[in-house]
Amino acid sequence: QVQLVESGGGLVQAGGSLRLSCTASGRDFSTYTMAWFRQAPGKEREFVAGISWPGGSTYYADSVKGRFTISRDNAKNTVYLQMNNLKPEDTAVYYCAARAGVVYTTQTRYNYWGQGTQVTVSS
Tens-digit pLDDT profile for residues 11-44 = 999 999 999 999 999 777 778 999 999 999 999 9
Please report, to the nearest 10 degrees, the dihedral formed by the alpha carbons of residues 46, 32, 79, 95 taken in order.
30
Instruction: Summarize pLDDT for 93-120 with one digit per residue, the tens.
Output: 999 999 988 999 999 999 999 999 999 9
115 Cβ contact partners less than 8 Å away, ≥ 6 residues apart: 5, 6, 95
SS3 readout for the chain: CCEEEEECCEEEECCCCEEEEEEEECCCHHHCEEEEEEECCCCCCEEEEEECCCCCCEEECCCCCCCEEEEEEHHHCEEEEEECCCCHHHCEEEEEEEECCCCCCCHHHCCEECCCEEEEEEC
Decide if pLDDT at 55 tops 80: no
